[in-house]
Amino acid sequence: MKSSPHRPSIELLFKRGLGSAEIARRLQISSSTVRNVVAAIKKRGDASEVKKSGRPRSVNTRNTRAIIKKRIIRNDGLSLNRMASQLGIARSTVQSIVKNDLKLKSYKLRRGQYLSDKSKAMRLENAENYSSTF
Model pTM above 0.75: no
With respect to residue 76, please indicate whether it lies within any of the assigned structural domains.
Answer: yes
Position 2 scores a pLDDT of 63
Nearest to 9 by CA among 21, 36, 24: 24
Residue 26 near residue 54 (C-beta atoms within 8 A): no
User: In the chain, how many domains are there?
Assistant: 2
- Residue-wise pLDDT for 17-63, tens only, equals 989 999 999 999 999 989 988 998 888 887 777 787 888 778 888 99
With respect to residue 56, please indicate whether it lies within any of the assigned structural domains.
Answer: no
- Residue-wise pLDDT for 83-92, tens only, equals 999 999 999 9
With respect to residue 126, please indicate whether it lies within any of the assigned structural domains.
Answer: no
With respect to residue 88, please indicate whether it lies within any of the assigned structural domains.
Answer: yes
With respect to residue 26, please indicate whether it lies within any of the assigned structural domains.
Answer: yes
With respect to residue 133, please indicate whether it lies within any of the assigned structural domains.
Answer: no
Structural domain for 86, as ranges? 62-101
* Cα dist from 98 to 49, 85, 91, whole Å: 29, 15, 11
Position 1 scores a pLDDT of 46
- Residue-wise pLDDT for 93-124, tens only, equals 999 999 999 999 988 878 888 889 999 999 99
Position 80 scores a pLDDT of 93
**How far is C-alpha 74 from the geometric centre of its chain's CA atoms?**
17
With respect to residue 38, please indicate whether it lies within any of the assigned structural domains.
Answer: yes
